[in-house]
Amino acid sequence: MTRRKISILFILLGIGIAFSLPQFVQSNYVLRIAVASGLFILLASAHNILMKVGQLSLGPVAFYGLGAYVSAILSTRYGVPFVICFLAAGVSAAVAGWIIGRLTLKLRIAYFVLVTIGFAEFFRLVALNWTAMTNGPMGITAIPAPALWFKGYAMYYYFILFLVLIVLFGLYRLENSTIGRAMQAIRENEVLGQSVGIDSYRYMMLAAVLSSFIIGIAGSFYAHFFQFLGPEILSFELTITIVVMVIAGGRATLAGPVLGAILFTIIPELLRAATVWRMVIYGALLVTIMLFMPDGIMPSLVSVYQKLRNRFRPAGEPSDLRTTLEIFDTMPQNTGCRQEQFAVSTERCDKEEICKEASLIVEDLCVYFGGVHAVEHVSLSVYPGEILAIIGPNGAGKTTLLNAITRLGPITSGMVHYLGEELNALKAHETAHRHIVRTFQHTSVFPNLTTYRNMVLAHNALEPTGLVTNVFRTSGWHDAEQEIRRRADEILEFTNLKQYVDCVASSLPYGAQRLLEMGIALVADPNLLLLDEPAAGMNPTEVEALMELILRIKKMGITVVLVEHDMKLVMGISDRVAVINYGELLAEGTPEEICQDDKVIQAYLGRCFDDAQTL
Amino acid sequence: MHKKSVVLLITLLILIALLFTACKPAVEETAAPQAKLEEVAPEEKEAEPEQPASKEPIKFGVIQPLTGPVADAGAYVVSGLKIGVDKINAEGGVCGRQLEPIIMDGKNDPQESVNAAELLITRDGVPIIMGAWGSSSTLAVMPVMERNGVPLIVETSSSGKITTPGTPGFDWTYRFSPMSLMESEAAAPYIVDKLGMTKVAILNVNNDWGRGAAEVFTNVIVANGGEIVSEDFIEQTTTDVLPQLTSIKNSNADSILITTGAGQIATILKQYKELGMTQTVLTTGGSNYPVAIMNLSSAEIAEGTYHLVFYVPSEYDLAGDPAVAKWYFEEYYKRGLPDVGLGESYRGFDGVHVIAQAMELAGCDLSPEALQAAIPLVEFKGLSGTVKFDEREGHQSRPNVYLTKIENGVMVVPDFQFD
């Protein structure tokens, strides 16, 4: 039985048990706890969407409270039917999520956390002090049930079960889609994601809106279930509970927050016997879990299962590393090697020949950081099909120039044109959409994912990104999925990384990691590839292999701009060399010309590379 | 690596074990409060074997905040409750059976309190519950009581909605904790005339309690010719009230009305003295036992302040039953319980007696319906006066309200209020 089948079996079993629960459990108490678990599953899963893009929000209760109050006020004051209240709660929370996203998603890490705390507190104070509308600390009583036939808890239970199943199904579909992978890429390495064309802002916004919508409808459910609503719903303690559920459950997985929500609703109930010691024991338990299962309970369960399985598995069968992170991943095992040859895109400039017309034109470019003039009036042209090396001493402004071209860094003045289009106004991910892709000076991969997954994520920007396409898997979706696999296999072959396919990127040997970086860039389908010191830290054998790889890339018709210190590499493969010193263009020409240039020798090379070895 | 997986396995095992204990916590749970009672009341221990062993104790539910920010207040109520239970049991129990409270933590959180109520009713089958401290928690629990048909005795919450017909669960809810309205009505004859509070600054805690008090006292003060100069609401956790006090000091207010817990009252008074303020101070709310306030601040700081209370522990004659009040006062200190809790602990003591009397009045029929029918007949002379639920006032009992003053370092009960 495959892993997928086992997963499906477990899920069906779970759903079956969930559906029949009210049949064999008559206890209102148990049902009540089950409903509370359902609410927390919604909250934790929705909160996890934001965690998936690497943002820790401490303000989920703001949307919870907003949804609850909107629903409660509409139904008690204006007699609006439940269905409309319910949707209004979701929509108003989503709108609030969008507004707050607009204001905060430019912020990262600590600042984002602080601002979200601020928003939650703001909503709490509004609920507390706008007594005319919210009734302040006195709360809103007599909130009607969703319908007259909502008599016992069983109805509420089925209702929340229905919501949970829909939300989880949607999130599952999302996670294993272009959108989910984009979110994973952003969490793993946002800048790298942008460099291969992933619009991190869009996905973060999508995450914020989606998350707040789900939390908003959960708030509505809360109000109509409890039939009483006070400002307590906006307490910071609730936020902590939700975050604990996500983190202790296992934030990297879909099942983690579900498990966390169920466990952390049930555990405090089980600890009731401990009366005053209850929260102390709860806290100690939590610390223990986090100490010994830092990734959360779900990933730990999976890894224990895996270890057991490995122990009883006949030798020789390949291990299954990917499951540790992607328990429900539907990606196939890519054991069968692809035989197809790497296809050379024909629309690119003619193979060996260097075209006469420049594709990338840098015109009088300046980049200043306050008083530091990192790039000063540099003009450069790159011709399709060539390898242009940019050399210069450390701090000369080479990387700043690359950043400016790929729009990851600022431009103070000057112009960057690519195929007649001005790049100045573009965002980083948009340059990737124009097939300009780069690598980074310091190894930049998606460190916690397998080599294969790295390749898959790099393809993201080339896939359909619509919400509907990805959740409902419309016609084009399956073709796109096929294409990802084909492309990933192709590049794995091309970069000789097949042997590492199932290894986590950060565990790869250094040389292989640098190759992986190139592979990531290649998957993103560049016409212009900018390599930032690809040979840094490589041993001579690895450099040889790299040179050969870059030449093969050139052969495919991809233009290469190379920032490099390794003179053997630069002089060995470049068609032209540009020298930058103190932000200014010092010289430009063929390797031979540069070697003989007095200014260059004085500023950077010393003596030419043949003699350099004897120094 | 191997070691780590062993630890992991153990942790998982503990978790799973915890899940399975769910099947039988009933035994542990009921044992816990009992064990504690035995600890605090060793003298009753010997009396127990005389009870017929065949007679099971009568269980009833209690929901109080045992953890969380207001756990101290919950503990005070519970300490009074335990004294009450021990007294009843030592005197032969109810219907010849011992009383056994099952005390649950509600954290003063609506969701937690509701879970606790549901558990008490479903698992322990209690026919009556006392709780759930804060108004939000009580209002959330009320629909659950109605759904299950179990009466609720409210001991602390002050929100007017609890005793308003139409609120879900109203039919099953009976309250003996007074509303602010009753305090203000009691204070009406003297608050402006005798205390001279004509230009009043209100400084209350920002919850239904503080806000409700502000509203009703405003009515009373205005009706008697006074005026409200300012109105500030502070968070329960606020420890710095200097900004509010400074602005009151600089206004033309001649007096300050404070409604909050004893701890925060003491904090306010300290800062009031720091600023050298001279305005008349009147505190309300029921947790403001003057001796506790003196102990939390100091006699000098609290000198000259007025406090409206429902229960004056040391003035036995003011209680519903002076003999009981005297016994209670002595018993409370005998158990080494703190001053600060005395003012609030009466809620637990009176509460358990109301429950016991309802059970007797129901002819020892312990069904929730019988108890519901019996509760309106209860007339218990307790610490805070006579508990009697008035149908016309929404199942609300009207307790005593007394004005006390701290004078020369001792609590006095000014005479003018009895005119």
Which domains occur in chain B, in start order?
29-177+325-387 (3.40.50.2300), 181-309+402-418 (3.40.50.2300)
Among partner residues B11, B33, B159, which is closest to A293 by beta-carbon distance? B11
Angle made by CA atoms B123, B127, B131, in degrees to the nearest 5 = 90
Question: Can you tell me whether residue B129 is helix, strand or coil?
Answer: strand
CA distance B391 to B96: 30
A121 touches chain B (CB under 8 A): no
Q: What is the pLDDT of residues A392-414, one digit of tens each?
A: 888 888 899 989 999 988 999 99
Provide the terminal-to-terminal Cα distance of chain B, rounded to the nearest Å. Answer: 82
Could you tell me if A168 and A224 lie in one domain? yes
pLDDT at A608: 54
Alpha carbon of A151: minimum distance to chain B alpha carbons (Å):
9
Could you tell me if A398 and A442 lie in one domain? no
Name the residue among A430, A82, A104, A50 with its Cα closest to residue A251: A50
Amino acid at site A592? E
ipTM: 0.73
Q: B205 has which bridge partners?
A: B234
**How crowded is residue A126: how many other Cβ atoms within 10 Å of its Cβ?**
18
Name the residue among B55, B116, B89, B155 with its Cα closest to residue B366: B55
CA distance A229 to A223: 6
In what side-by-side order are the strands of the sheet with A387-391? A436-438, A528-532, A559-563, A387-391, A576-581, A584-589
Q: Is the dihedral of CA A5, A10, A15, A19 positive or negative?
A: positive
Among partner residues B15, B32, B136, which is closest to A275 by beta-carbon distance? B32
Q: What is the pLDDT along chain B (419 residues), one digit of tens a residue?
A: 455 566 565 665 565 555 444 433 333 334 344 444 444 444 444 444 444 445 789 999 999 999 887 888 899 999 999 999 999 999 999 999 999 999 999 988 888 899 899 999 988 899 999 988 888 899 999 999 998 999 999 999 888 889 989 888 999 999 998 888 888 999 999 999 889 999 999 999 988 788 889 999 999 999 999 999 999 999 888 899 999 999 999 999 999 999 998 889 999 999 999 999 999 999 998 888 898 899 889 999 999 999 998 888 888 888 889 999 999 999 999 999 988 888 889 999 999 999 999 999 999 899 999 999 999 999 999 898 899 998 888 899 988 889 999 999 899 999 888 87
Asked whether residue A308 is domain-assigned, the answer is no
Could you tell me if A417 and A446 lie in one domain? no
The CATH code of the domain that includes A500 is 3.40.50.300
Asked whether residue A453 is domain-assigned, the answer is yes
Whether A270 sits inside 8 A of B18 (CB atoms) is: yes
Among partner residues B109, B208, B233, which is closest to A138 by beta-carbon distance? B208
Domain boundary among the residues A508, A525, A542 is at A525
Asked whether residue A32 is domain-assigned, the answer is yes
Say if residues B388 and B354 touch (Cβ distance below 8 Å): no
Could you tell me if A397 and A470 lie in one domain? no
Of the listed ranges A330-339, A473-482, B112-121, B213-222, the least confidently predicted one is A330-339
Angle made by CA atoms B30, B32, B35, in degrees to the nearest 5 = 115
Q: Is the pLDDT of residue A56 over 60?
A: yes
Average pLDDT, chain A: 84
Name the residue among B274, B309, B317, B314 with its Cα closest to residue B399: B309
Domain boundary among the residues A234, A250, A266 is at A234
pLDDT at A355: 58
Could you tell me if A427 and A569 lie in one domain? yes
Total residues belonging to chain B:
419
Alpha carbon of B79: minimum distance to chain A alpha carbons (Å):
13
Whether B161 sits inside 8 A of A131 (CB atoms) is: no
Could you tell me if A460 and A426 lie in one domain? no
Could you tell me if A201 and A111 lie in one domain? yes
Could you tell me if A228 and A360 lie in one domain? no
In what side-by-side order are the strands of the sheet with B227-234? B227-234, B199-205, B255-259, B280-284, B306-309, B402-407, B410-412
Q: What is the pLDDT of residues A79-120, one digit of tens each?
A: 999 999 999 999 999 999 999 888 887 776 678 888 888 989
Helix (H) and strand (E) counts for chain B?
A: 15, 16
A-contacting residues in B 85-114 (Cβ below 8 Å) = 103-105, 109-112, 114
Could you tell me if A445 and A418 lie in one domain? no
Could you tell me if A145 and A195 lie in one domain? yes
Q: A418 has which bridge partners?
A: A360, A421
Tokens of A371: 């008083």
B-contacting residues in A 255-284 (Cβ below 8 Å) = 263, 266-270, 272-276, 278-279
A136 touches chain B (CB under 8 A): yes
Could you tell me if A417 and A444 lie in one domain? no
Amino acid at site A502? D
Q: Tell me the longest C-alpha to C-alpha distance in chain A.
A: 92
Among partner residues B122, B143, B147, which is closest to A27 by beta-carbon distance? B122
Asked whether residue A537 is domain-assigned, the answer is no
Among residues of chain A, what percentage have pLDDT more than 90?
Answer: 29
Rounded average pLDDT over A38-60: 91
Asked whether residue A538 is domain-assigned, the answer is no
Asked whether residue A396 is domain-assigned, the answer is yes
Asked whether residue A449 is domain-assigned, the answer is yes
**How many domains is chain A partitioned into structurally?**
3
B143 touches chain A (CB under 8 A): yes
Whether B66 sits inside 8 A of A27 (CB atoms) is: no
Alpha carbon of A554: minimum distance to chain B alpha carbons (Å):
45
**How crowded is residue A365: how many other Cβ atoms within 10 Å of its Cβ?**
25
pLDDT at A65: 95
Say if residues B332 and B326 touch (Cβ distance below 8 Å): no
Could you tell me if A198 and A212 lie in one domain? yes
Of the listed ranges A154-168, A298-312, A385-399, B207-221, the least confidently predicted one is A298-312
Q: What is the pLDDT of residues A546-595, one digit of tens each?
A: 899 999 998 888 999 999 888 888 888 899 999 988 888 888 888 888 88
Alpha carbon of B314: minimum distance to chain A alpha carbons (Å):
30
A399 Cβ contact partners less than 8 Å away, ≥ 6 residues apart:
A441, A532, A563
B33: closest chain A residue by CA = A275
Q: A with B: how many residue pairs have Cβ under 8 Å apart? A: 137
B159 touches chain A (CB under 8 A): yes
Name the residue among B262, B270, B229 with its Cα closest to residue B247: B229
List, as one string, the DSSP characters of B143-177: HHHHHHT--EEESS---GGGGSTTSTTGGGEEE-S
Asked whether residue A192 is domain-assigned, the answer is yes
CA distance A187 to A173: 18
A390: containing domain = 352-433+553-615
Domain boundary among the residues A234, A259, A291 is at A234
Say if residues A3 and A305 touch (Cβ distance below 8 Å): no
